[in-house]
Amino acid sequence: MEVDRTSHELRPMTCELGHLSRSDGSATLTQGDTTVITSMYGPGDVRISKEIIDKATVEVTYRPKIGLPKCSDKLKERLIRNTCETVILSGLHPRTGIDIILQEMQNSGSFLSCCINSACLALLDASIPLKYLIAAVTCCISDKGEITLDPDLKQEKKSVAILTFVFDSKDFNVVTVSTSGSFSNEQFQSCLMACREASKHVITFYRESMLKKLSKSV
């Protein structure tokens, strides 16, 4: 199913915005075959126990496809929630709640970056005020030390380490890092720089999608 590609290419991306009628904002993003659907509700009412007086409460729910949510899913939720909290201008909506719900549809590699990118698209679709955009890119290091961007499931299984970086669109500094496996400092730095270059393409993709969506006014 996967087309042959070299190590410094991103897989084809497709997105569909606003297709869920009940949500305030929704996005389906596919990177290659990895598909994640994200919907968000907000700013809306929030339980008093979770209310913050000067900011909006951001809550993230992640649902895997098979089985009930486990501990590893909680860590994913925490990661995505912290990333979204950094981006959203929550001070503009105090005492409200912003709910982001992610559903795994297909996991064919680079799953965490697909989740974060689709969350950003859903926030854009709902017109939530953001400080900057965020772009996530995953790369993996093979046992020979080669870096592959946006790996699929087979490449991830053969790799020694998998690193996911999230960059902001203003200065391209690192917002989030999540790694698995062990690697050296030099490998870390080269992955960081490679992913930074790749994230610029992701930001361009967001821009083009929104331009297309807003090109006609109803």
Partner 1 sequence: MANDLKTFQPKEYYRKFLEKDVRPDGRELGECRSTVVNIGSITTAEGSALVKLGNTTVICGIKAELANPKADEPKNGYIVPNVELSPMCSAQFRPGAPGEQAQVLSQFVVDVLQNSECVNLQDLCIVSGKLVWMLQCDMICLDYDGNVADACVLSLVSALKNTCLPKVTVNEETQAIETDDKITNNLKVQTTPVSTTFAIFDDHFVIVDPTIEEETLATGIITIVTKEKKLCMVHKPGGTPLKDSQIQLCIDRAIERSGQATKLIDETQCSLDR
Partner 2 sequence: MRETPLSTCERDFILSVIADRKRIDGRQTYDYRKIKIVFGIDRGCCSVELGKTRVLAQVSCEVTEPKQTRPTDGILFMNVELSPMACPSFESGRLSDEGVELNRLLERCIKESRCLDTESLCIVAGQKVWTIRIDIHVLNQEGNILDCASIAAITALVHFRRPDVTVSGEDVTIHELDDRDPVPLSVHHMPICVSFAFFDQGKFLLVDPENGEEKVMDGKMVIGMNKHREICTLQITGDMLLLKEQVLRCSNIAVVKVQEISELIQTALENDKTARSEGRKYGFAESIEREQITTHHTDITNVDMEDITKTNHETMDEEENQEQENSEENKVTILEKGTGIVGEGGRNSWLMSDDDEDVKIEPSIPNKSKKHKQKEKKEAYSFGDDSEEEETVVLDESDLHMIKKVPGSSDSVDLQSLKPSKSTPGKKKKKR
- Residues contributing to the site for partner 1 (CB under 8 A): 71-72, 74-75, 78-79, 81-86, 163, 166-168, 171, 173-185, 188-189, 192
Min dist CB 19 to partner 2, Å, is 7
Partner whose footprint covers residue 22, from partner 1, partner 2, none (CB < 5 to 8 Å by kind): partner 2
Interaction of residue 15 with partner 2, rule CB under 8 A: yes
Instruction: Tell me whether residue 13 or residue 131 sits nearer to partner 2 (CB atom).
Output: 13
| Residues 36, 16: Cα–Cα separation, whole Å | 11
- Say which DSSP state 32 is in: T
**Residue whose C-alpha is closest to residue 210's, from 38, 41, 9, 27:** 27
Interaction of residue 93 with partner 2, rule CB under 8 A: no
| Residues 131, 213: Cα–Cα separation, whole Å | 21
Select the span of 80-88, 155-163, 173-181, 189-197 touching partner 2 (CB under 8 A).
Answer: 189-197
Structure tokens at 194: 């490679």
Residue of 106, 142, 179, 180 that binds partner 2 (CB under 8 A)? 106
Asked whether 139 and 195 are in contact (CB, 8 A), the reply is: yes
Select the span of 50-58, 158-166, 174-182, 203-211 touching partner 2 (CB under 8 A).
Answer: 203-211
Q: Is the omega angle on the peptide bond into residue 43 within 30 degrees of 0, that is, cis?
A: yes
Interaction of residue 67 with partner 2, rule CB under 8 A: yes
Min dist CB 139 to partner 1, Å, is 13
Residue of 149, 161, 163, 203 that binds partner 2 (CB under 8 A)? 149
- Say which DSSP state 185 is in: H
Partner whose footprint covers residue 157, from partner 2, partner 1, none (CB < 5 to 8 Å by kind): none
Min dist CB 118 to partner 2, Å, is 12
Q: What residues form DSSP beta bridges with 62?
A: 102
Instruction: Tell me whether residue 18 or residue 94 sits nearer to partner 2 (CB atom).
Output: 18
Asked whether 10 and 201 are in contact (CB, 8 A), the reply is: yes
3-class DSSP assignment, residue 193: helix
Backbone angles phi, psi at 85, to 5 degrees: -65, -35
Structure tokens at 47: 């339980």
Min dist CB 204 to partner 2, Å, is 8
Asked whether 36 and 115 are in contact (CB, 8 A), the reply is: yes
